[in-house]
Structure 1
């Protein structure tokens, strides 16, 4: 092997070692930039449960709606929503989610009859809970 070819080979190996480690020095050119598989994990699906402390109350009598949150960051506020006609309206009743995932919200309702309630946190909502106000 002539001297120029030896210097060129040593130079290529030295630059490859410097730039990308020993594997890059001896890898075929098509392997240097090969895509590596990416493994993505799906985030846990967020969910909320809800249970009223009573089935029936007098107007403006306080009760609680409690439950648990999964896949939602602790400290996130949950809000009570009431179905009024065809729309869900957020009430001023809120509570933060504890580190354990539990929450409990104090609620007072004045609309007599069966009230449909749910808990909301961002885009996640709980199943509907019914409380009768008499």
Structure 2
């Protein structure tokens, strides 16, 4: 019984210390020791902190200029989205964002690589999106 009790106390101590170190590594600022959460509420505070992570998506073209209908790649990484999420390329046409028939699913680590061919000559404003998450706009010139 003593070995089991020590073992469970050791596990509880490690869990509390681990949760405390994660909480301290975050950006939380406490004005006074009274504002610090109690040891029994740390795991809940850490769970709330990770649930509030904002989803993001990046996009980077393999070229800045390409010939019409020539293949190039758009690669990027997502955070806060489930693996296997659908990523679609959009092009700005006449002031509106139009989804192109270029779609791919994300890998386990959130990365993606999308093959693209564009025919609209000139500077093309492009972005990728998944659900309601949108990447920053980037440009590719088609010549």
Task: Tell me the TM-score normalized by structure 2.
Answer: 0.65
- For 1:110-129, what aligned pairs fall within 5 Å after superposition? 110-129=119-138
- Alpha-carbon distance in structure 2 between the residues aligned to 1:43 and 1:77: 22
Q: Counting helix residues as a fraction of each chain, which structure ranks higher?
A: 2
What stretches of structure 2 of length at least 5 have no aligned partner? 1-40
1:85 shift after superposition: 1.5
1:43 shift after superposition: 3.0
- Alpha-carbon distance in structure 2 between the residues aligned to 1:43 and 1:102: 21
1:132 shift after superposition: 0.2
**CA RMSD between the two structures:** 1.5
Runs of 4+ in 1 over 2 A off after TM superposition: 37-40
- Alpha-carbon distance in structure 2 between the residues aligned to 1:76 and 1:84: 25
Task: Name the larger-Rg structure.
Answer: 1
Partner of 1:63: 72
- Alpha-carbon distance in structure 1 between the residues aligned to 2:52 and 2:90: 26
Partner of 1:17: none
- Alpha-carbon distance in structure 1 between the residues aligned to 2:52 and 2:120: 39
